[in-house]
A = this chain, B = another copy of it.
């Protein structure tokens, strides 16, 4: 049985990382997609764990060879998802999880609609997001302001997602994301459906 895809999108500061950490605890075999980027590593970020860090030339070569499932240029840096690792995980029947922006979601949904479930995770309000970004103390005010403007733009795209989770009550949000992940695994690609029909055929 081929695997499925779960795309999680939401502004930086929406609490995605916490939700994902809880979600994967009892979700069965999964592969968390690691993006490739040309941006500089932040303090504490490790190559092959947080991102694959590459230079611009290497990235542009891979674009030319169509080795990306999706890619985008954000704030002057490339971000993309290498196709090979995703296909491998799907072939192994794993749930492939993406933490990706609205542009990336659009590309994946367009390329693999049958097996993709997507969720937009949002803080309860703009003020709550601003406060979270200030409190976590990892970005300059200039970066925070850029993030807030981007969050506002992203929110206009929530209609494109299958589900929306408002991360207000954390325990409730954890329960919701777990249900969505389990449901995402029930998405069947056309080939699996054909197999089921063949298996079932009785008359």
Contacts and interface: CB of A to CB of B under 8 A. Distances in A.
A182 to B, nearest CB: 4
Which size bracket describes the interface of A in this complex? 35 or more
Contacts of A186: 119, 163-165, 176, 180
B158 A196 contact: yes
Interface stretch (A30-38, A101-109, A121-129): A121-129
B148 A203 contact: yes
Interface stretch (A39-47, A55-63, A135-143, A187-195): A187-195
Contact of A182 (B126, B148, B175): B175
Contact of A155 (B125, B159, B176, B200): B200
Interface string A155-198: 11011001111100000000110111011001110100100110
A203 B152 contact: yes
Given A176-B182, A179-B179, A199 B158 contact: no
A21 interface: no
Contact of A126 (B130, B163, B202): B202
Interface string A78-108: 0000000000000000000000000000000
B201 A126 contact: yes
19 contacts: A119-B186, A125-B202, A126-B200, A126-B203, A130-B202, A148-B203, A152-B201, A152-B203, A155-B201, A156-B197, A158-B196, A162-B187, A163-B183, A163-B187, A164-B186, A165-B186, A179-B182, A180-B183, A183-B183
